[in-house]
Structure 1
Amino acid sequence: MSTIAMPVGRSNWGLTALPPLALYIHFPWCVKKCPYCDFNSHAQKNGLPEAEYIEALLRDLETCLPLIWGRPVTSIFMGGGTPSLFSAEAIDTLLAGIRARVKLLPDAEITLEANPGTFESDKFAGYRAAGVNRLSIGIQSFNPQHLQALGRIHNDDEARRAVEIAHQHFDNFNLDIMYALPQQTLEQALSDIDAAIACRPTHISAYHLTLEPNTLFHRYPPPLPDDDLAADMQDAIEAHLAAAGYEHYETSAFGQSGRRARHNLNYWTFGDYLGIGAGAHAKISFPDKIIRQMRYKQPGEYLQQMAAGSAVQTEEAVTQAQLPFEFMLNLLRLTDGFDLALFTERTGLPVTRVVHEIERAVADGLLERTLNHVRPTERGRRFLNTLLERFLAES
């Protein structure tokens, strides 16, 4: 993992090296808003301001250049919303503009999220030609009743057609699958995961449906499997994926050998990321501080603010007291855990700041520790929020 060495002679607290830097780009429009979705997405009503939005994204990136000057970008993730609503020509213009403004590594992973209801073979060939080398496809389920209950715009036939088109143009793609769906049985959950495996993706993300605030499902909860059944689903899904050769390397992420999601791994190892687009977040490290930014969420307001010079709505420094929890919030999602030296490298704090809570978690069966390494136990992964609260208390 490459880092940029920093000069010595600084204050008592700071980073000796900057972490890898990724770029996240948010596309806030969807055909319709799903009832479970709490992401910054907005139903497309009067057409897409495609050219205007691409121009705003590139101006947004330009305003951030002083914050990241000279740092290479290791990966790009285009998320949403539904980025695949945008034309291949628009994505090509965007990626060309990014390459002209930052140092994008030659082997950078460039991912685009796609909804099966937007798949057209020629469009996805254009995405590949523009430089996109990985897709993340929001299948969620292959069961038509469950797709309808989730408010998805595609059906099971369109889901399978999307996979066929993905195979034609990409050798690296992820399928999103959800379980613990309204009135779902264990057999149905396993049918979905086996259907996903049969599609031969390089990566599968298996998510437990949760009722998030500010969603239709939260206001009007559907009948969901109880906790015991949901836990049985999780265990069985993990077993089926392991038997099919998928490595369980993060809470919800399963990859074939050598196909872990590099962009997401950068998040989970407390790397840096610049976020552009409506509602995008950023975490950027400096020798003596770490800052977080958030852009304006409403697409219209984002475009107006960007036209006025900057779309950053909030910017704040992460305090030393917040760093232990923020670090653990990411690293403890990893099945293999982390080397203790990474805590100091990414936070600038000594390991002694977290040793007491680590030892308590070890005693309670939530963590395993060797001299230089920490990893969550199976119990710690299952009760991750309980484990993380230990470090929030430390903060």
Structure 2
Amino acid sequence: MNLPPLSLYVHVPWCVQKCPYCDFNSHGQKGTIPEKEYVQHLIDDLKADLHLVQGRKIHSIFIGGGTPSLLTGDAYTRLLSEVDRLIGLSDNCEITLEANPGTVETGRFKEYVGAGINRISIGVQSMQNDKLKALGRIHGADEANYAAEQAHQAGLNSFNLDLMHGLPGQSLEDALNDLKKIIALNPPHISWYQLTIEPNTQFASKPPTLPQDDILWDIQEQGQALLAEAGYEQYEISGYAKPGYQCQHNLNYWRFGDYLGIGCGAHGKVTDIKTGVITRTEKVKHPRGYMDLAKPYLYKQWRVEEDDLAFEFFMNRFRLVESCPKEDLSSLTGLSQQSLQRALNTAIAKGLLIDNTETWQVSQKGHRYLNDLLELFV
């Protein structure tokens, strides 16, 4: 087995308020955020994970939440300088920070650039104020436009706009108009994905009325045509980018790379170069417990058993549009192609997968029925 590239995920748990569709580990802000204290805990959390680095530098960093843009540029200057000192950053390391338009103040993006952040991901979700209100968002369309303008002017290498479709009461025309407005803002990267109702959310307890399946299919088909016409290449299920602007952190994740996870509820996945064992980690979820000096940051860790490796590998790899080199299966998991040949043959026979001698390519049918494809490897 080869030791894959190493990324870092940093979780900032606070939001101004919890959105009704959100199942991420986020907590409504109550009073002042303990910024300096939390950053020190992030650094100490990272120090506890240094044995997992195994000589690698950090390939990419993604700061998610929650709402990371509630923290100042000074906080990230301190954090990123410590990451560089403790581990080291690779050349051209991509450093992404998630931001919500409702928390973007004048000049804040330039602070982040000064701290070392070179990519911003802005959670727009919709360009229609009534839809934003239904989603529990604290911003309006004007603030989304302003945030995109600030991103263009901040000197970033790249930025992303998040947009959802399949919203409560949304028509085909509504969804396509939203997408056209996002395209007109000319971001290098667009994340365009369908709203799903997740367990343990407000929407799960009181489900809204969502568009019917035939409308959802028309939105997907016509929206992809709009994106392609505007020069955006789809590289994963919900990722569209101008050439050269794919999210490197996401690519490492979907290619089954390694990543450390620090912060409340952060997940990690690491490979032991000596044994080949792949371990997943999860940190303490609640800020109060995470910042309790009497307790460890690690909530639990578990080995990915051999019976689960194929499913986990393909669950990630088959999200991507690019083909999957066959050698990656053995080099990243230790599994042989022969041990999975029956499932692979079935996938090929059903037209879900294409065998290209050196690679496997998920077909258009396979992407449409991805769950059926993945079930073959359970």
Pick the TM interval, shorter chain: over 0.9
Q: Which amino acid aligns with 2:282?
A: M
Q: Within 1, Cα distance between the matches of 2:373 and 2:198?
A: 21
2:301 aligned partner: 315
Equivalent residue for 1:121?
A: 106
Counterpart Cα distance in 2 of 1:228 and 1:373: 33
Kept in 2, the 8 Å contact 1:70–1:103? The answer is no
Shift of 1:144: 0.7
Which residue identity does 2:224 align to in structure 1? E
Query: 1:351 aligned to 337, 351, 355, which one?
Result: 337
The answer to whether the 8 Å contact 2:8/2:62 transfers is yes
Aligned counterpart, 1:262: 248
- Counterpart in 1 of 2:177? 191
Counterpart CA distance in 2 for 1:374 and 1:231 is: 26
Q: Does 1:363 align with 2:349?
A: yes
CA drift at 1:278: 0.3
Partner of 2:360: 374
Partners in 1 of 2:135 and 2:323 — Cα distance? Answer: 33
Q: Find the counterpart in structure 2 of residue 325 from structure 1.
A: 311
Question: Any idea what the Cα deviations from partners look like across 1:323-360, whole Å, max 9, x if unmatched?
Answer: 00000000000112311111111101111122221110
Correspondence for 1:162 among 147, 151, 154:
147
TM-score (norm 1): 0.94
In structure 1, runs of 5+ residues without a counterpart are: 1-14
Number of the residue aligned with 2:16: 31
Aligned to 1:150: 135
TM-score by length of 2: 0.98
Paired letter, 1:22: S
Query: 2-side partners of 1:357 and 1:263: how far apart?
Result: 29
Alignment partner, residue 107 of structure 1:
92
1:290 is aligned to 278
- Is the aligned partner of 1:95 residue 2:80? yes
Q: Percent identity of the aligned residues? A: 48
* Number of positions where the alignment pairs a residue of Structure 1 with one of Structure 2: 375
Match in the other structure for 2:290: 302
| Residue 207 (structure 2) aligns with | 221
Q: Deviating runs (4+, > 3 A) in structure 1?
A: none
Please give the residue correspondences for 1:12-23 in structure 2 after superposition, counting only pairs within 5 Å.
15=1, 17-23=2-8
Contact map agreement 1:344 1:351 (CA 8 A) in 2? yes
Give the CA deviation at 1:66.
1.4
Instruction: Quote the Cα distance in structure 2 between the aligned partners of 1:353 and 1:229.
Output: 41
Quote how far apart the aligned CAs of 1:254 are.
Answer: 0.4
Paired with 2:251 and 2:296, the residues of 1 have a C-alpha distance of 29
Measure how far apart 1:121 and its partner are.
2.7
Identify the match of residue 278 of structure 1 among 229, 250, 264.
Answer: 264
Deviation digits for residues 212-237 of structure 1 (CA, Å, limit 9, x no counterpart): 00000111011100111111111111
Tell me the alpha carbon deviations over residues 49-95 of structure 1, each in whole angstroms, 9 at most, x when there is no partner. Answer: 10110000000000111121421110000000000000111111111
Tell me if the contact between 1:77 and 1:263 (Cα under 8 Å) persists in the aligned partners: yes
**1:290 counterpart letter in structure 2:** I
Return the letter of the residue paired with 1:154: H
The equivalent residue for 1:251 is 237
Tell me whether 1:207 sits opposite 2:168 in the alignment.
no
Structure 2: which amino acid aligns with 1:47? T
Counterparts of 2:253 and 2:157 in 1: how far apart (Å)? 23
Instruction: Determine if contact 2:289/2:295 at 8 Å carries over to the other structure.
Output: no
Contact 1:140 1:147 in 2 (8 A): yes
Q: Which runs of 5+ in 2 are unaligned?
A: none
CA separation in 2, counterparts of 1:186 and 1:239?
A: 14
Cα shift at 1:309: 5.9
Contact 1:206–1:253 at 8 Å: present in 2 too?
Answer: yes
State the distance in 2 between where 1:139 and 1:284 align. 32
Root-mean-square deviation (CA, aligned residues, Å) is 0.9
